[in-house]
Copies of this chain bind each other. A is one copy, B any other.
Amino acid sequence: MKTVGTLLFPGFELLDVFGPLEMFGMLRDDYRLEMVGETAGPVASSQGPHAIADVAIADAGPYDILLIPGGRGTRREVANDTLISWIKRHAAACGIVATVCTGAALLARTGLLDGRKATSNKAALAWVKQQGASVLWQDRARWVTDGKYWTSSGVSAGMDMALALIAASEGAAKAAQVAVYAEYRWGRDPDDDSFAALYDPGNAGKAT
State in angstroms the CA–CA spacing of A22 and B18 once bound together: 10
Check if A155 sits within 8 Å of B184, measured CB to CB.
yes
Nearest B residue (CB) for A23 = B15
Query: Is A13 part of the contact surface with B, judged by Cβ < 8 Å?
Result: yes
Chain B residues near A182 (CB-CB < 8 A): 15, 154-156
Check if A35 sits within 8 Å of B49, measured CB to CB.
yes
Nearest B residue (CB) for A196 = B183
Chain B residues near A35 (CB-CB < 8 A): 49-50
Query: Is A42 part of the contact surface with B, judged by Cβ < 8 Å?
Result: yes
Query: Is A51 part of the contact surface with B, judged by Cβ < 8 Å?
Result: yes
Chain B residues near A66 (CB-CB < 8 A): none
Check if A49 sits within 8 Å of B21, measured CB to CB.
yes
Q: Which of the residues B42, B183, B198 comes within 8 Å of A155, measured between beta carbons?
A: B183
Check if A198 sits within 8 Å of B180, measured CB to CB.
yes
Interface size class of A (residues with CB under 8 A): 35 or more
Query: Is A187 part of the contact surface with B, judged by Cβ < 8 Å?
Result: yes
State in angstroms the CA–CA spacing of A118 and B6 once bound together: 35
Check if A25 sits within 8 Å of B47, measured CB to CB.
yes
Query: Is A109 part of the contact surface with B, judged by Cβ < 8 Å?
Result: no
Check if A49 sits within 8 Å of B52, measured CB to CB.
yes
Interface residues of A in 14-62 (CB under 8 A from B): 14-15, 17-19, 21-22, 24-26, 28, 32-33, 35, 42, 45-52, 54
State in angstroms the CA–CA spacing of A13 and B49 once bound together: 15
Chain B residues near A13 (CB-CB < 8 A): 22
Per-residue 0/1 for A119-163: is the Cβ within 8 Å of any B Cβ (1 yes, 0 no)? 001110000000000000000000000000000011111000000
State in angstroms the CA–CA spacing of A196 and B67 once bound together: 32
14 contacts between A and B (CB under 8 A): A14-B25, A15-B18, A21-B47, A28-B47, A33-B49, A50-B51, A50-B54, A52-B52, A122-B183, A154-B182, A155-B181, A180-B198, A181-B206, A181-B208
User: What are the 4 closest A-B residue pairs judged by CB atoms, nearest first?
Assistant: A25-B47, A154-B183, A15-B22, A18-B18
